[in-house]
Structure 1
Amino acid sequence: MGDDAADGECGEPARDERNELPRRHPAASLLRPGAAARDGLRRHRRHHRPRGQPQLRRPGRHVRRPRPPPELVDAGRPGPLRGVRREARQAVRRVQAVPRPRGEREADPQREHRRRGWPGGGLRRLPALAERPGADGRGADRRPAVLPELRAELARQGPRAGAAPADPRRRPRAGRVSRRHRAQPRRLVRRVRREAEPGALPRSRRSRSRLVNVSFSILDLSPICEGGDAAHALRNTIDLARHAEQWGYRRYWLAEHHNMPGIASAATAVVIGAVGAATSTIRVGSGGIMLPNHAPLVVAEQFGTLESLFPGRVDLGIGRAPGTDPTTAAALRRHADVDADEFPRELTELMTYFRPPQPGQRIEAVPGAGLGVPIYILGSSLFGAQVAATFGLPYAFASHFAPADMMPALALYRSQFRPSDQLPRPYVMLGVNVFAADTVEQARRTFTSVQQAFVRLRRGQPSRLPPPVDDVEKLLTPAEQAMLSKALSVSFIGTPDTVRRGLEQFVAKTSADELIVVSQIYDHQARLRSYELTAKVRDELERTAPIICGGGSG
């Protein structure tokens, strides 16, 4: 029943409803049904894609020929007969050469590609497809559809520079296409989708703004040096804040730490008030207040008072770490239980106190209500990044001592960011250790103080900031040296040129909007010199970088 069955299935020459061609093709008579045809069918299915499926292949792979039409499926598949597949492909080309109706030609991305002078015809291999109803209204036309935003981008860019307009009457050459032409549409799709994200800048503007519009700020821990006391450390803090204002730093933050013999800024709000009174233009704030240690209402009242004293200059950085050891944290909170879910609720309550009072609201922060003190989220993990993105707040990452999760946290923050009244787009602040000096030897020697203090803290023996030494490696074990190389990897040590090159690479890698400079240096004059040289590095970056694009926060 071989030949009769084949004729019975394809005897009546049915008409193709789309292009009005006979469904039975002369090439079908060359195909032998039976076992050989079934074997050929299996081989064909294994090596050929289904009809209408988009060709999504990696750059460098050749483009396969299209699959024969369904007429050939009914009559069997190519068997071992020599030349059958070649004749079937020629038949397919004759079918495809028939012009389609005008409406379909206008929506054809291949025709659009040639009309605009783009070579290669690569738009037919776009990964993004759209199913459109067929001409008869019943089937689905699976030809690639050009994305609206992609069409607008093509119209904006126009023909590629140096490319001669292609002849619209000439059919694009089948077979191999250059790798550049294959990859170009995919890059364009990725660019269009990336720029469609909330708060994203175009690629050209982002690439120009790597080193421009990057603000420099200071995080001061008020270090208590060996041989000194807290009063001396606080006087040095006020003196450094005055110099920072002269050197053009954007903000001056202080951190909250408790039961630490080497840090004098435990009463952070009080020290912020002293710094604000000693300066006039630089922003002052916390970097940060550990919210689990305080009632949100108390924090709102404290920073509402600071905002009333120094209007438009106060920042409130919020963190959820204890800022001390577990025993001291229990003494601060009066309980040892810490719930991670409590932090978002406390943050929501704190933000409510800074908004204008609502009718029926029984508790208000006075002062604080309606002042809108800007809030920043501090963190060193993915949790802080998610909180900052959810609430639409700026995110300050503690990369100066915990850089392990920096890149994943930044990616999470930028991808999940939701615009808010305070911030329309993501804003990233990164902590960096900078030890700048006139010579490399001086800079490396000043860095040994923070190395010693960090190791002592990890040993459970916190101390005051020790003086620098010449051979710090002799004081450390190999494990401690490896720990320091990871924890303090975001450190830039050397002359201004060395620091500048390091900061350029760091900003290009992270696309940071602001750098918070930390310099824990034993000698106060050397510390002032380091911040002065860092400010000169910032000025050099601003002079050599292109035009500023983008904005900031606060």
Structure 2
Amino acid sequence: MLDLVPISSGSDAPTALRNTVELARAAEEFGYRRYWVAEHHLNPGVVSSVPALVIQAVAQATREIRVGSGAVLLGHQTPLSVVEQFGILDALFPGRIDLGLGRSGRPRKAPEASASPEGTFTDEGLYLPPRFTGFGQLLQSPRFRLQLSLLQQPGAEAPAYEEQVADILALLAGTYVDQDGTEARPVPGAGADVDVWILGSSAGESAEVAGARGLPFAANYHVSPATVVEAVTAYRRAFRPSWALAEPYVAVSADVVVGADDDSARRLAAGYAAWVRSIRSGEGAIPFPTPDEAYARQWSDGERELVADRVDTQFVGAVETVIERLRALWRATGADELVITTITHDHADRVRSYEVLARAWAKRA
């Protein structure tokens, strides 16, 4: 499970955090393997700005489920600060912590493959929509520029992503030595028993770093559905065995809403388009709308085009409908794990969606 700690329309941040703790307890009961929290900043409708703090609250409220970041954004922190945070989490909850790493909006290396401009279906039945081309414009939005200015010291520049990942791995292993031969052993942190993951959306730097370092890779179908197949292909092509893995290991995310039937699920998911529009327009994620608020909204053709790839690839319906689409995603990517993220306005509907999916998937398995 991936949780952004969303605020619902008419609610507030404390309620969202309490809902996350309750949802994490339920996730463990339902049999989910991991509970990850995202990192987002200056969004009116999400609370997951400091993953380590949310992870601590979730781990404290649960017993066995692995808890981690999906992902810590390395453009906003130093490798040492990340290792120290997750070293403390490992000391408090040994053997349960995942450290997922992301690049946080850095300039992207152009992928080798190109998604179809019309959208296409794979042989396995997975829909790959036209590639979303608005990320560059989004990164130039006033809110994003303000976010960067507030999250970095004036004049600071983050090192290359590959260097940051290498430093984190060395600090965790207790083998970090600088150019002058001085060692750095964070306490806690050095020797921490955390699983390190790389998260990525395309066949670019993240996939290549994950493969070259022999780390598990999580590909974001729910963020960039057009490029998920090329992302996992690039990762497997770049993979080299390591102390962590002998073979590639892939998780793939999907945005899911399960209802009693297809029509009721579509109503539960009605606020998703407006929520995605608020993110991609640069204003920041709004509190998740009610179905009535969503249906009352007037849409322009440009706004519909802005969110089409995400709306068309959200898995919404009765549980058997959703499972068939998840199986297509699984087959098309060869995923070892699926990462499910679900947002509805009503918290009880969200919990129920996760529960029904978990129980039905277990029966099918």
Q: Is the 8 A contact 2:167 2:176 kept in 1?
A: no
Corresponding residue to 2:245 among 413, 419, 423: 423
Deviation string, structure 1 residues 386-424 (Cα, Å, up to 9, x no partner): 111111111111210211221111111111211110111
CA–CA separation in structure 2 for the residues paired with 1:380 and 1:326: 21
Q: Is the 8 A contact 2:259 2:265 kept in 1?
A: yes
Q: 1:475: Cα distance to partner? A: 2.5
Structure 1 letter corresponding to 2:340? V
CA–CA separation in structure 1 for the residues paired with 2:155 and 2:361: 44
Q: Which runs of 4+ in 1 moved over 3 A?
A: 335-339, 356-361, 469-474
Q: Is the 8 A contact 1:224 1:263 kept in 2?
A: yes
The question of 1:524 aligning with 2:347 is answered yes
Q: Bigger relative contact order, structure 1 or 2, given CA contacts below 8 A and separation 6+?
A: 2
The question of 1:230 aligning with 2:53 is answered no
- Which residue does the alignment assign to 1:511? 334
- Which residue does the alignment assign to 2:357? 534
- Which residue does the alignment assign to 1:259? 42
For structure 2, which runs of at least 5 residues remain unmatched after alignment? 107-142
- Which residue does the alignment assign to 1:497? 320
CA–CA separation in structure 2 for the residues paired with 1:363 and 1:306: 19
Q: Is the 8 A contact 1:322 1:329 kept in 2?
A: no
Q: 1:374: Cα distance to partner? A: 1.5
- Which residue does the alignment assign to 2:99? 316
Structure 2 letter corresponding to 1:325? F
Q: 1:500: Cα distance to partner? A: 1.4
Corresponding residue to 1:388 among 210, 227, 230: 210
Corresponding residue to 1:480 among 298, 303, 306: 303
The question of 1:299 aligning with 2:91 is answered no
The DSSP-based 3-state class of the residue aligned with 2:169 is helix
Q: Percent identity?
A: 38
CA–CA separation in structure 2 for the residues paired with 1:488 and 1:289: 26
Q: Is the 8 A contact 1:401 1:488 kept in 2?
A: no
The 3 A distance-change label for structure 1 pair 459 and 375 is same
- Which residue does the alignment assign to 1:117? none
Larger radius of gyration: 1
Q: Is the 8 A contact 1:249 1:535 kept in 2?
A: yes
| Equivalent pairs, count | 324
Q: TM-score, normalised by structure 2?
A: 0.84
The 3 A distance-change label for structure 1 pair 390 and 358 is closer
Deviation string, structure 1 residues 285-320 (Cα, Å, up to 9, x no partner): 000100120111111011001011111100000001
Q: Is the 8 A contact 2:144 2:282 kept in 1?
A: no
Q: 1:489: Cα distance to partner? A: 3.6
Q: Is the 8 A contact 1:435 1:519 kept in 2?
A: yes
Structure 1 letter corresponding to 2:200? G
- Which residue does the alignment assign to 1:243? 26
CA–CA separation in structure 1 for the residues paired with 2:278 and 2:352: 26
Structure 2 letter corresponding to 1:330? S
Q: 1:492: Cα distance to partner? A: 1.1
Deviation string, structure 1 residues 349-375 (Cα, Å, up to 9, x no partner): 111111135797532111011124211
The 3 A distance-change label for structure 1 pair 343 and 440 is same
Structure 1 letter corresponding to 2:206? G
- Which residue does the alignment assign to 1:449? 271
CA–CA separation in structure 2 for the residues paired with 1:224 and 1:481: 23
CA–CA separation in structure 1 for the residues paired with 2:82 and 2:233: 30
The DSSP-based 3-state class of the residue aligned with 1:367 is coil
- Which residue does the alignment assign to 1:150? none
Corresponding residue to 2:147 among 318, 324, 328: 328
CA–CA separation in structure 1 for the residues paired with 2:239 and 2:293: 46
Q: Is the 8 A contact 2:280 2:306 kept in 1?
A: no
Q: 1:484: Cα distance to partner? A: 2.4
The question of 1:363 aligning with 2:184 is answered yes
Deviation string, structure 1 residues 460-484 (Cα, Å, up to 9, x no partner): 3332111123874962222332332
CA–CA separation in structure 1 for the residues paired with 2:93 and 2:327: 34
For structure 1, which runs of at least 5 residues remain unmatched after alignment? 1-217, 543-554
The 3 A distance-change label for structure 1 pair 395 and 513 is same
Structure 2 letter corresponding to 1:481? R
- Which residue does the alignment assign to 2:132? none
The DSSP-based 3-state class of the residue aligned with 1:325 is helix
Q: TM-score, normalised by structure 1?
A: 0.56
The question of 1:350 aligning with 2:168 is answered yes
Structure 1 letter corresponding to 2:355? E
